[in-house]
């Protein structure tokens, strides 16, 4: 089954609003590709100017974080209705930086996946193991547990619209990329798990990205693998190189 490729930038905590608009201008012609879903996941303060800057182009806008309530006394948080109203389509959930630095656990992450679907946002659900788990050889069990918990109560129809990003923590921002075979092994495992938890049609439909030091030099090989449908890109999404990844 042909799945549509999805190349998403995760800008993390980079780009002031004016820098964000300038970057959109730099990338505008470089990221043109009608066969690929191109997404910029940007800091909350950049959402409004970025939505405006990419209007009329093939670029979709995503957010990096949100909270599960619609409104109220949650100082510092941003809600799904706020994101929707601003023109956001995708939402990153469960990134290892949110899990490790901000203490988000699988219960909260599962609630966020539910809330995103209920609000009409498309989740990009992240999973991935630490270097210690990779070395211990227990990474498959870890990924299985993360995905099983994070998708608790999520329907097959919803999973068909889901994007899962496999991001080994040891490859994030380190310059050390998982080899294409290592990435394919886990992305294939995730697809098998979805077939077990749901059914084959759902497993065939879910899109799975690799993330972790993906760049213009290694993207084509990673994306050539049958179970890798796209990339979630940090550092290289802030540079003209992002266009080369979109067109790899
Ligand atoms: P890098 O591409 O900078 O390694 O970051 C990957 C990532 O965490 C994307 O979410």
The pTM (predicted TM-score) of the whole model is 0.97
Nearest protein Cα to ligand 1, atom 5: 234
Spell out the residues 6+ positions from residue 47 whose beta carbon is closer than 8 angstroms to its own: 61, 63, 83, 86, 87, 88
Residue 4 pLDDT greater than 90, yes or no? yes
Cβ(68)–Cβ(115) below 8 Å? yes
Residue 175 pLDDT greater than 80, yes or no? no
What pLDDT, in 10s, does the model give residues 210-240? 999 999 999 999 999 999 999 999 999 999 9
What pLDDT score does 44 carry? 98
Spell out the residues 6+ positions from residue 17 whose beta carbon is closer than 8 angstroms to its own: 45, 46, 49
Cβ(147)–Cβ(193) below 8 Å? yes
Q: Which of 42, 172, 208, 210 to mutate to test the pocket of ligand 1 (most atoms within 8 A of CB)?
A: 172
What pLDDT, in 10s, does the model give residues 13-52? 999 999 999 999 999 999 999 999 999 999 999 999 999 9
Residue 1 pLDDT greater than 70, yes or no? no
What pLDDT score does 174 carry? 82
Radius of gyration of the chain (CA): 17
What pLDDT score does 183 carry? 97
Cβ(159)–Cβ(200) below 8 Å? no
Nearest to 116 by CA among 73, 147, 158, 58: 158
User: Ligand 1 centroid to 160 CA: how many Å?
Assistant: 24
5-246: CATH homologous superfamily?
Aldolase class I (3.20.20.70)
What pLDDT, in 10s, does the model give residues 92-137? 999 999 999 999 999 999 999 999 999 999 999 999 999 999 999 9
Q: Is 217 left (phi over 0), alpha (psi -120 to 50) or beta?
A: alpha
User: Ligand 1 centroid to 199 CA: how many Å?
Assistant: 30
Range in 3-7, 37-41, 147-151, 176-180 the model is least confident about: 176-180
What pLDDT score does 14 carry? 98
Percent of the chain with pLDDT over 70: 100
Q: State residue 120 phi and psi, 5-degree precision.
A: 80, 20
Q: Which of 9, 12, 126, 218 to mutate to test the pocket of ligand 1 (most atoms within 8 A of CB)?
A: 12
Number of the ligand 1 atom closest to the C-alpha atom of 175: 4
Instruction: Give the domain ranges of the chain.
Output: 5-246
User: Ligand 1 centroid to 213 CA: how many Å?
Assistant: 6
What pLDDT score does 221 carry? 97
Structure tokens at 52: 């405006």
């Amino acid at each position: 089954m042909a799945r549509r490729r999805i190349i998403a930038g995760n800008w993390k905590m980079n780009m002031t609003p004016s820098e964000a608009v300038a970057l959109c201008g730099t990338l505008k012609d470089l990221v043109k590709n009608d066969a690929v879903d191109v997404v910029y996941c940007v800091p909350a303060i950049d959402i409004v100017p970025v939505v405006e800057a990419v209007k009329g182009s093939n670029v979709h806008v995503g957010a990096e974080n949100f909270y599960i309530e619609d409104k109220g006394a949650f100082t510092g948080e941003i809600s799904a209705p706020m994101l929707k109203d601003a023109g956001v389509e995708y939402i990153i959930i469960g990134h290892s930086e949110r899990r490790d630095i901000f203490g988000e656990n699988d219960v909260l992450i599962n609630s966020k996946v539910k809330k995103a679907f209920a609000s009409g946002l498309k989740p990009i659900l992240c999973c991935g193991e630490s270097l210690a788990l990779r070395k211990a050889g227990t990474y498959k069990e870890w990924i299985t547990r993360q995905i099983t918990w994070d998708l608790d109560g999520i329907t097959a129809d919803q999973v068909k619209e889901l994007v899962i990003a496999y991001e080994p923590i040891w490859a994030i921002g380190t310059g050390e990329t998982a080899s294409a075979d290592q990435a394919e092994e886990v992305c294939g495992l995730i697809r098998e798990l979805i077939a077990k938890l749901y059914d084959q049609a759902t497993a065939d439909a879910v899109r799975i990205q690799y993330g972790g030091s993906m760049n213009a030099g290694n993207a084509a090989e990673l994306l050539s693998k049958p179970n890798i449908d796209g990339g979630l890109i940090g550092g290289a999404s802030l540079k003209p190189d992002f266009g080369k990844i979109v067109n790899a």
